[in-house]
Amino acid sequence: MVQDLLRKAVFSGLAAILCLSVAAQPRLEPPSPVPPFSAGLLFLSMEKYDTALPFFEEAIRENPRNAKAWLQAGLCLGKLGRTEAKLRAYRRAIAIDPAFAEAHYSLGISLLLEGEKCGAVHEMRALKALDPGLAGKLEALIDVMEGDDECAAGPDPEQTAI
């Protein structure tokens, strides 16, 4: 019985020393098993926009020039009813990557839904050089919308830009 008590005391002492040595070492956070952008896409696919948005915002904080994260954040913002923030996010994605066809398309659709037909026409014209298929889809939606057709007769932005 004395031997058992002595063995327990020694074991307890060694365990305490081990705990103290582990506690004294700096703790490193383990790397997240899923990058924020991927986690955002997962929640987005489940239509959990309020859960997905913070992951896209984190991806943007990690890399403010991540046009894809800005686009996906814009989609979430739109689904959450934050229209102005959605439009800013789409415009930011385009500013980062002017050749990002999906961002032009999303902005064009959003502008069309907001009644800004001329803005949608501008995005459709930009899309013609980037992705004729998406440009055709946007153009078909623009044609269906009622409203002033004066912006349809203007020059293409590519022809006026120098």
Instruction: Give whole-number Cα distances, 44 to 37, 85, 93, 97, 125, in Å.
Output: 10, 17, 18, 22, 29
For residue 89, the model assigns a pLDDT of 98
Instruction: Give whole-number Cα distances, 62 to 5, 70, 73, 75, 95, in Å.
Output: 55, 12, 14, 19, 18
Where do the domains of the chain lie? 34-146
CATH superfamily, with its number, for domain 34-146: Tetratricopeptide repeat domain (1.25.40.10)
Residues of the chain with pLDDT under 70: 1-32, 146-150, 152-162
For residue 146, the model assigns a pLDDT of 66
124 in Cβ contact with 108 (< 8 Å): yes
For residue 94, the model assigns a pLDDT of 98
Helices (H) and strands (E) in the chain, counts: 9, 0
**Whole-prediction pTM value?**
0.72
For residue 92, the model assigns a pLDDT of 98
